[in-house]
Amino acid sequence: MLAAPVTLALQASLLSAATTLHAILGLAIQQSSTLIAADWYQALARPWGGPPLQDQRLGGAIAWSFGKPPSAAVAVALLAQWWRADQREARRVDRELDRAQAAGVDNALAAYNRQLAAWAQRDP
């Protein structure tokens, strides 16, 4: 029953990668001294706003900073899902062990302990 935690781990990895790449892109645009698509901005000859490079740097700063709160919210939701999946798995294992104990069936924990004891006797 590792499907949910593995999927959640993959989601966490993808979120981390996306957040990192988003931050790198925003910082690269913010710190750039070269205007992206300079020919287009020159042909536009817009009468409003500051210089296009200043707007580009502002856009990079916005991309860098405004991407963090949504990413943090997604991370919190992902951690909550992970915690709930872990709690469900723990309850399932507890029920399985309780049923085995009630039926007098040897459970996996006892078998594991016997295996450890055997290893301890074999290796002084």
- 104-113 pLDDT, tens per residue? 766 677 778 8
**pLDDT surpasses 90 at 91:** yes
| In 12-72, beta strands by DSSP E | none
Whole-angstrom Cα distance, residue 32 to residue 55?
12
Give the pLDDT score at 1: 47
Whole-angstrom Cα distance, residue 63 to residue 54?
14
3 confidence band (pLDDT: 50, 70, 90): low
**pLDDT surpasses 90 at 67:** no
Other beta carbons within 10 Å of 34 = 7
For the record, the structure tokens of 23 come out as: 């931050």
**Contact present, 59 and 35 (Cβ < 8 Å):** no
Give the pLDDT score at 6: 65
- 19-65 pLDDT, tens per residue? 888 889 999 999 999 999 888 888 888 888 888 899 899 989 988 88
Give the pLDDT score at 57: 93
Question: Which amino acid would we find at residue 81?
Answer: Q
Give the pLDDT score at 76: 94
